[in-house]
Amino acid sequence: MATTITRAAPAPPGHEARRHAWRLLAAAALGVPFWFLTAIQMPYGYVREGGYWFVTGDPLVALVALAALARRRRHPLPTALVAVAAAAVSVLATGAAFLALTSIAAHRRSVWTGSVMATYLLAAQGAMGLYPVRGEPPSPWLALLLSALSAGIAVAVGLAIGSRRAEVRSLWERAVSAEREQSARAAHARSQERTRIAREMHDVLGHRISRVALHAGVLDHRGDLTPEENRMLVRSILDSSHQALEELRDVLGVLRSEPERPEPPQPSMELIPDLVAEAHAAGLDVTYTGTVRHDPPDPIGRTCYRVAQEGLSNAAKHAAGSRVRITVEGAPGDGLRVTVRNSPAPAPRGTALPSSGYGLLGLTERVTLAGGELHHRPTSDGGHLLTARLPWPDHRGKRA
């Protein structure tokens, strides 16, 4: 049974918007501790004595940085540079700078990551002298070390996120590719199954229906038949119709996969004399000559039977009253040759029997699948010649 890969539904627009909003809120929350830590270290009365930038400009720049990050999907590098540069004049924008560096590292582009990281370190150094602090200011080397450590953490988190996205994207592409291949295989299997069903229906029913049509045509055009001959033709039509219905029921039972109905036995080369006897009883002048040594493999014997059956059906449809000669010869190692030759019809038929046009086409496919070749052509006297060559390897020496 075919397995269908179900694609995951994309996230709703509202859910994606909430995810972006949570990231921006997290970036804003990350900058708040740095802002309060800076406020604690300021001299008393700094804001009242003119340091209004800390409570007005600093939050405003942080908001601008967060607003720029909201468009980082469309313009990743410019928005990241703006957010990181804003940290040089705004302590509250530190969280936005950290998110910008993480986001640009997730793209896994070394040039982008290096440029944003350098801007991040320069902005961190610039922010050291932005506000005065009580006591001795920290060492510039210690500040640089802490900035590099935070930048390394941001880059590591971004690379992990980027690797996870690439893995998910690869799995998604492989799932889509597998689903596409599975659909192609299913379509090919359906096409093959339709071809097999059409070939089986033609092989099983075409011969029987041709006999029914042939006998019915004789009854319609022959007015000089005796009552006994009429009864024989009607009985033959009745028998052929019953056999066609039985064979149709067997084929439909197999197609429906009914567990209680076994698959009907397949014909073999040994049944060709019975096929010839039925055609002879139907009024065809048929002669069969078989010079086959040993029994061929089942697929080869079944194909041989189908070739003889198709040749008789075509002779009954298109050359009623002609002489048909069937010859089967071959041996292990030499292959199997099937020949069906019919002479021209003695007189043109008043009403042509319907033809599907796929009999020889399906037979060619069947013979090709068996590894053989099929040829058919009109003969010089107006008849028709059908020849099939089938491989028959000799495995007796290998078994010995």
**Distance separating alpha carbons of residues 308 and 288, to the nearest angstrom:** 10
Residues 37 and 161 placed together within one structural domain of the fold: yes
The answer to whether position 193 is within a domain reads no
Which backbone phi and psi does 395 adopt, to 5 degrees? -100, 5
Residues 44 and 148 placed together within one structural domain of the fold: yes
Residues 279 and 150 placed together within one structural domain of the fold: no
**Distance separating alpha carbons of residues 207 and 326, to the nearest angstrom:** 16
**Distance separating alpha carbons of residues 110 and 255, to the nearest angstrom:** 61
Residues 61 and 164 placed together within one structural domain of the fold: yes
The answer to whether position 161 is within a domain reads yes
CATH code of the domain in which 324 resides? 3.30.565.10
The answer to whether position 82 is within a domain reads yes
Work out the average pLDDT over 275-294.
83
Number of folded domains that form the chain: 2
The answer to whether position 70 is within a domain reads yes
**Distance separating alpha carbons of residues 339 and 386, to the nearest angstrom:** 6
The pLDDT of residue 180 is above 90: no
* Of the ranges 17-21, 89-93, 224-228, 259-263, the best mean pLDDT one: 89-93
pTM over 0.85: no
**Distance separating alpha carbons of residues 77 and 65, to the nearest angstrom:** 13
pLDDT 10s digits, 362-397: 788 888 888 899 999 998 888 899 999 999 887 655
Work out the average pLDDT over 122-149.
73
The answer to whether the CB of 388 falls within 8 A of the CB of 327 is no
The answer to whether position 225 is within a domain reads no
What is the number of alpha carbons within 13 Å of residue 328 lying toward its C-beta? Answer: 27
Name the percent of the chain lying above pLDDT 70.
77
Residue-number span of the structural domain to which 68 is assigned: 17-131+138-180
Residues 282 and 176 placed together within one structural domain of the fold: no
Residues 174 and 321 placed together within one structural domain of the fold: no
The pLDDT of residue 142 is above 80: no
Instruction: Give residue 98's pLDDT band: very low, low, confident or very high (50, 70, 90).
Output: confident
**What pLDDT was estimated at residue 345?**
79
Residues 165 and 284 placed together within one structural domain of the fold: no
Instruction: Give residue 36's pLDDT band: very low, low, confident or very high (50, 70, 90).
Output: confident
Work out the average pLDDT over 36-51.
76
Instruction: Give residue 17's pLDDT band: very low, low, confident or very high (50, 70, 90).
Output: low
Which backbone phi and psi does 345 adopt, to 5 degrees? -65, 140
Count CB-CB contacts under 10 A for residue 376: 16
The answer to whether position 367 is within a domain reads yes
Q: Which two tokens stand for residue 169?
A: 């994207």
pLDDT 10s digits, 230-261: 777 777 777 777 777 776 776 666 555 555 55
Work out the average pLDDT over 106-127.
81
The pLDDT of residue 338 is above 90: yes
The answer to whether position 247 is within a domain reads no
The answer to whether position 35 is within a domain reads yes
